[in-house]
Structure 1
């Protein structure tokens, strides 16, 4: 989406953080300040608090028996909002992924990359944690540039050593929290209490993730957004003239004769000069080094830093604020409010439907997964014992809860008996969040099998006397 005032597109020929030779242009953004920066700071601190507390919620709240959020790929255990999921629940993940994809599409179509500026962990950690530490130790933009140019004297050495040490420590903490989401809080806490020598593999994994986080936030930085993250490229496909983005009001800023430096004696309106005084403050605060006046660009993460910088300048010169604001190309061009298009409405309806379906499936899912089938590899279709016909079945039961349970199989139609093999009775002991396998024999009198081709087996939780599942299986008989 290119504003009409842009006639030359050379800025699109290269990434802002690379020069013509392909070398890195290190970005030194000026420390932002203003209304939107304050709002983003509050939101960021709340999100950081949630990120660091969530792995410990089940340890703090006794009623929450499972970790609130965990994606344990190693053990195939997943916990989302305290609900445990296993490989048997993959269809729910599929629906969840489709819902997430539609949400991303809808959100991008309507609001562009606001997610990147306000919610993305990369932006939050970079701008609200690591960048603030850098400002505190090395100073603002000009002082950082001066420090980079000077020789390695005592001042530069201690400042860099302190900054890098703190960066490494924070990266180590983030890596620990990340592993809690991946392998579980208890496992990481056990590693911490028992020491790294008892858990070498976990220790090396922790070091690897610490190195990755340190590399990203200490050196790679904004390039994670402009070169690696696919979302920036996805937005170029999804946004249109009605998408709300951080945008420069070129009609007001350029006027009919373009922008010009501020002079008190000049009547800008009479001269046809726009409100932009070409102070370049929107550029020096940008964490990706772009000029927002060139229109929507791949590198823009909608962080609002340029909005605050521009508003500050507009207030100083006595102009109306909002020259750079949240707006759509359509609203700027036609000087109207942004509109909610049919495409956005259609995506919204689809998202609501998918979210409703996913929510229903989440709350309707069984706490136990039961499978019953004929014993494999058995050369005998059935056995006889007096007037009894006996079939052998295998069962696989997954306990998705955090509680132990006692399961009982009951043959209800036709009536008969079930004996769990390798056990004294019909009870099956279930361990929390584990899958067990076993066999049982179903015995029925021949007189009760007349016309019957299938068996109806009910599975009960003996502890709560709750009917867990009802299974229908085929029965072999003479």
Structure 2
């Protein structure tokens, strides 16, 4: 599992690959356009994901947004289910399960996520690259345009391309804003006077500039240098992992196809014994797999960190094999073991272990999600206060009071009427800031006193249970403490 940037050759020295030239400076890439079966499937997947991304903030379920990541109000919606800070344990378990899923997915399928579902790849290859090709032409036309002096035609094409790039980046920024503030707030901001939202407009323009820079300038460097996932795969991959790989057993030794090669070699009086050194592999060294690669690597050098499994090299090689009348799959999805042993892919104990851990985590997550209460209650004693002695209503009838703050979070999509009661003999609950109803998907705060007869207090800290009741049903029980004098 090596990451090869250069291939050393005895005659010419290192051959530059990727984004580095002979002087280790950045080399601008002009990937060749190729369309094959994998490219067509990737296009379908990309448009489905793009549709889901841009439509996500505007979809709702039961009156609630389908997806919402309101960091400011600490309110998150996933598929119509609302999560609050009180549900952090569910988010934590979900993140752990997601990390295990990424590890399992990489162990089994390598970096297929990068090529098929990563937003960077989808936007770069399926949106921005297509616009660039539509305006500036194929790889050779783009090279000539960049190398040519500035003319009216070049200025017009560059202006049109970068203007569209900026507008799309602006649309992406607003889409992400809609995921944070919600569609209604976004529409209100858009239709309002921009002067009333200068801070928000500056933030949107900043993120627009970041997206524009990524897709107009940085490009493949995000995958090869910035993103840590490429380096993570070096730890996770093994010889059984399914990756985009070159079949060197079938392809080597490589060489150009020359008609009547044997006759021409005989005219040069090459000995028959030397015929064994002539190229016999299926690889004709056309270098199309290098020309189509969006990160500029040569897949024939083995598994490399820069490979994003975009399958363009597979489509290019399959097209060449079709023209030569040779079987497809010289470059294909396979494991290193499959290449060496010619055996079909199989599930390994390592994959099974990851799968069992993932199933366990997801089972725990579903169990906790199904069992979470519809109403989450937090009750805290008022800070800085101990207890107060109420006016005696008669001999031996002194009451001790404690002040409490209560916070209710309604996790359902319906408002709920609530009342409170204390499960303790002789306890009285007196509301100071009443709560009669908790709105749907909202947080409500209140305040109340709990009073106990002084004669019933036998400890400096008495354990109490406060019940939250809605329409005769106890929705939540909260344990708290009551401070008082000890008799």
Q: How is 1:37-436 mapped onto 2 (pairs within 5 angstroms)? A: 37-58=39-60, 61=61, 63=62, 65-254=63-252, 258-265=253-260, 273-380=280-387, 383=390, 385-386=392-393, 387=397, 389-394=399-404, 395-414=406-425, 416-423=427-434, 427-436=435-444
The two structures have a TM-score, normalised by structure 1, of 0.89
Between the two proteins, the alignment pairs up a number of residues equal to: 464
Task: From the superposition, tell whether residues 434 and 269 of structure 1 become closer, same or farther in structure 2 (CA, over 3 Å).
Answer: farther
Shift in Å, 1:76: 2.0
Task: From the superposition, tell whether residues 363 and 379 of structure 1 become closer, same or farther in structure 2 (CA, over 3 Å).
Answer: closer
Superposed CA deviations along residues 32-63 of structure 1, whole A, max 9, x for unmatched, are: 200000000000000001111110111xx5x2
**Cα distance in structure 2, aligned partners of 1:200 and 1:392:** 47
Shift in Å, 1:379: 3.9
Matched, 1:458 2:467: yes
**Cα distance in structure 2, aligned partners of 1:295 and 1:422:** 69
Structure 2 match to 1:30: 32
**Cα distance in structure 2, aligned partners of 1:204 and 1:97:** 31
Q: Confirm or deny: 8 A CA contact 1:416 1:444 kept in the other structure.
A: yes
Superposed CA deviations along residues 126-164 of structure 1, whole A, max 9, x for unmatched, are: 000011111111111111111111121122111111111
Structure 1 match to 2:447: 439
Q: Confirm or deny: 8 A CA contact 1:243 1:328 kept in the other structure.
A: yes
Task: From the superposition, tell whether residues 459 and 26 of structure 1 become closer, same or farther in structure 2 (CA, over 3 Å).
Answer: same
Q: Confirm or deny: 8 A CA contact 1:30 1:140 kept in the other structure.
A: yes
The two structures have a TM-score, normalised by structure 2, of 0.88
The secondary structure found in structure 1 opposite 2:352 is helix
Structure 1 match to 2:265: none
Structure 2 match to 1:470: 477
Shift in Å, 1:467: 2.3
**Cα distance in structure 2, aligned partners of 1:361 and 1:153:** 65
- Gapped regions of structure 1 (runs ≥ 5): none
Shift in Å, 1:405: 3.3
Deviates more, 1:184-193 or 1:35-44: 184-193
Task: From the superposition, tell whether residues 331 and 358 of structure 1 become closer, same or farther in structure 2 (CA, over 3 Å).
Answer: same
Task: From the superposition, tell whether residues 438 and 142 of structure 1 become closer, same or farther in structure 2 (CA, over 3 Å).
Answer: same
**Cα distance in structure 2, aligned partners of 1:297 and 1:432:** 51
Task: From the superposition, tell whether residues 2 and 299 of structure 1 become closer, same or farther in structure 2 (CA, over 3 Å).
Answer: closer
Shift in Å, 1:73: 2.3
Q: Confirm or deny: 8 A CA contact 1:372 1:393 kept in the other structure.
A: no
The secondary structure found in structure 2 opposite 1:259 is coil
The secondary structure found in structure 1 opposite 2:436 is strand
**Cα distance in structure 1, aligned partners of 2:391 and 2:350:** 67
Larger Rg: 2
Q: Confirm or deny: 8 A CA contact 2:387 2:402 kept in the other structure.
A: no
- Gapped regions of structure 2 (runs ≥ 5): 263-274
**Cα distance in structure 1, aligned partners of 2:278 and 2:138:** 37
The secondary structure found in structure 1 opposite 2:477 is strand
